[in-house]
Amino acid sequence: MCGIVGYTGGKDCVDIIIDGLKKLEYRGYDSAGIAFEEDKGIDILKAVGRVDNLEKLVRAGKVKSHCAIAHTRWATHGKPSVLNSHPHCDCKGEVAIVHNGIIENYDELKKELSSKGHKFASETDSEAAAHLIEEELKKQKDFFKAFASAVKKLKGAYALAATYKNAPGVICVAKKQSPLVIGQGKGEYYLASDVPAFLNHTNKAIFLEDGDLAKITCGACEIYNLAGVKQSRKVNVIKWNPATAQKGGYKHFMIKEIFDQPQATKDTISTLPPDIKKAFGITPAAARKIKGLYIVACGTAYHAGLCAKYVIEHFAKLPVEVETASEFKYRSINFQKDWLFIAVSQSGETADTLAALNNAKQAGLKALSICNVVGSTITRASDYTVYTHCGPEISVASTKAFTSQLAVLYSFALNIAKEQGSLAKTAFDKLYKEFKNLPSLIEQTLKDAQQIKKLAKAVYKSNSYIFLGRNAAFPIALEGALKLKEISYLHAEGFAGGEIKHGPIAIIDKGMPVVALAPKGELYEKMLSSCQEVGARGAKLITVTNTPLKGAVEVPYTNEYLFPILAVVPLQLLAYYVSDLRGREIDRPRNLAKSVTVE
């Protein structure tokens, strides 16, 4: 996730652009840059870190311009650096582009363009777009037509904006799967990844649709589809209050991030082809030599690892040890040298996880990290890294990072199972197809948010909550409890369904909310018996299942090992609504920090 801003019109747009970038910093803040038209052509300024650093350069340069595009970055391909930050240029510095999304065929494009003599300056996927436009401009002089031909060659997701030295005042844009909205002013147009970037200047917004291309000048915004047919798009009047608009109109970042999950998992899954080398950097030969796995993480990321244990053991038949990093690092482990170490961390900076990873590395193990922050310390200490592509997670309570971590680990489980010969090609293909559909299943699950809100209203006065799950859904019970306790400050505990009769059932009291996860499958009946046991003691049962069951919350049906990724969504919503009804400070719960960098 990155943020794009643009302006063309009669005003000096420097303040507009800087203000717009600051409003979009929630989408990325590892570097920022601006391409502005001035008398001699296009000038570019870039800075690593927050937009404030770019602003200092812009102010020092006394920049003035009437047409500019800019970008605040959340690195996906290539570490945060000046070279990798946007805007990117063609070889002559005449075309500048900013991009949000992932260009999936950038490798092929880069090879092809390099063979034609193009020189690439960055490690990004995005730069290919600038060189492609340059190449198309050799065939025809019209900037918009050349831009459109270049866009047709892109695969993947993009919100793309470009300017060209020989077409002053013109911004060309294209959208597919990444957001792009145009703001309409008087004799001026704005462009942004999200409305708050221009809401202080105009509340008239044109939301582009996938496949749209637009040519924007100060006096007109012409929209076409990829076939060149003119499109008409509604001008919407936005009634949001600029102060809450950064949260996309949501009350808190947490609920916004819960609803971001279809996009976050889609962006993550788009980088995970059914090929262990391409998705994880591990060669098939190396994958076949792996005899077991240590998965180490903290908090929510630990729950993702614990869930992966069930999935990997089931599909790949490999032994998996999962532990919280704060315990793992103090154990005297006789490390198995042919086991792979996996660190899971949203921030990539968690001190306990890093210490555990360093122990494993010192013992001579290879390490794979699954992180959300490009270039973070844990990624630098690892042999292999796979990123979740969630964009910044602002709320302290992790939600979208969790489902994306689960997606990466699920893909890993299937890929390693295939390489180890424990999953036949046909079964693998079928499971992978189902996996690719996950984002739309999450979207479907989110449609039941109102049902969860009603359930929250029925239980929020309780001071104690129990979550039950078995098998791969057991870690989701732990995660549901963690989510609720960290933002509501209420007592919540997760148990394995079969374990409650060994003690915890003693605390079940009349009216106590018990959330039971019961996917259709081998343990469905067993889970229903656990429900009866607590129900008979007066518990207020909330069942989450994937099969019709009276009064239950139903998520779409999938194989039992994908169920956890869907089942956690109602639990996140429940935690959110209960805490909101309790009037808690949801995005910044007391005593907690987003990233725990001390051991």
* Contacting residues toward ligand AGP, per CB under 6 A: 298-301, 345-347, 350, 353, 396-398, 486, 595-596
Which residues are within 8 A (CB) of 305 and not within 5 positions of it... i.e. 6 or more apart?
295, 296, 297, 322, 342, 344, 409
Nearer to ligand AGP, 126 or 395 (CB): 395
Tell the burial category of 23 from Cβ atoms under 10 Å away from its Cβ (0-12, 13-18, 19+): buried
- Per the residue annotation, which of 2, 172, 390, 531 is the catalytic one? 2
- If the CB atoms of residues 1 and 133 are measured against ligand AGP, the closer one turns out to be 1
Single-letter residue type at 287: A
Nearer to ligand AGP, 206 or 297 (CB): 297
Q: How far is the CB of 492 from ligand AGP (least distance, A)?
A: 13
Measure the CA–CA gap between 168 and 287, rounded to whole angstroms.
53
Torsion angle of the four alpha carbons 319, 324, 326, 327, in this order, in degrees rounded to the nearest 10: -50
In the complex, least distance from residue 369 CB atom to ligand AGP, rounded to whole angstroms: 10
Closer CB to ligand AGP, 296 or 417, in the complex: 296
Written in H, E and C, the secondary structure of 286-348 is HHHHCCEEEEEECHHHHHHHHHHHHHHHHHHCCCEEEEEHHHHCCCCCCCCCCEEEEEEECCC
- The residue (of 21 and 586) whose beta carbon lies closer to ligand AGP is 586
Phi, psi for residue 198 in degrees, rounded to 5: -125, 5
Q: Judged by CB, which is closer to ligand AGP: 271, or 346?
A: 346
Closer residue to ligand AGP, CB minimum distance, 402 or 474: 402
The rounded distance, in Å, linking the Cα atoms of 366 and 104 is 27
557 touches 546 (CB < 8 A): yes
Tokens of residue 101, six digits: 């999304």
The pair of three-digit structure tokens given for residue 312, joined into one six-digit string: 């990997």
Identify the bridge partners of residue 513 per DSSP, sorted by sequence position.
540
Q: What is the nearest approach in angstroms of ligand AGP to the Cβ of residue 49? A: 20
Known active-site residue 594: yes
Instruction: Give the nearer residue to ligand AGP in terms of CB position, either 350 or 558.
Output: 350
Nearest residue to 315 via CA among 246, 218, 405, 416: 416
Angle, CA of 465, 467 and 473, to the nearest 5°: 165
- For ligand AGP, the closer CB: 14 or 397: 397
Token pair recorded at residue 534: 């607590």
- The CA distance from 352 to 364, in Å, is 19
Catalytic (active site) residue 2: yes
The token duo for 413 is: 């489980």
CB of 398 to ligand AGP, least distance (A): 4
Q: How far apart are CA 85 and CA 12, in angstroms?
A: 24
The residues near 195 (Cβ < 8 Å, ≥ 6 apart) are 181, 183, 205, 238, 240, 245
Classify 545 as helix, strand or coil. Answer: strand
> Whose CA is closest to 125, among 91, 165, 97, 162?
97
Closest separation between CB of residue 396 and ligand AGP, Å? Answer: 5
Q: Which is nearer to ligand AGP, 124 or 350 (CB)?
A: 350
One-letter amino acid identity for 534?
Answer: V
Minimum CB distance to ligand AGP, residue 216 (Å) = 39
Amino acid identity, position 86: H
- Residue 171 beta carbon to ligand AGP: minimum distance, rounded to whole angstroms: 37
Nearer to ligand AGP, 178 or 345 (CB): 345
Q: Tell me which DSSP letter residue 557 carries.
A: P
Show Cβ contacts of residue 442 under 8 Å, excluding neighbours closer than 6 positions.
261, 262, 265, 403, 565, 566, 569
Residue with CB nearest ligand AGP?
299
In the complex, least distance from residue 316 CB atom to ligand AGP, rounded to whole angstroms = 24
Question: Smallest gap, in angstroms, from Cβ of residue 400 to ligand AGP?
Answer: 11
**Which among 79, 155, 540, 594 is annotated as catalytic?**
594
CB of 295 to ligand AGP, least distance (A): 13
Q: Is 84 helix (H, G, I), strand (E, B) or coil?
A: coil
Chain centroid to CA 334 = 36
Going by the DSSP 8-state scheme, the letter that residue 26 receives in this structure is G
How many CB atoms are located within 10 Å of the residue 426 CB? 8
Q: How far is the CB of 352 from ligand AGP (least distance, A)?
A: 8
Q: Do 282 and 368 contact (CB within 8 A), yes or no?
A: yes
> How many CA atoms lie within 13 Å of 226's alpha carbon, on the beta-carbon side?
12
- Tokens representing 498 are 């079969």
Catalytic positions: 2, 594
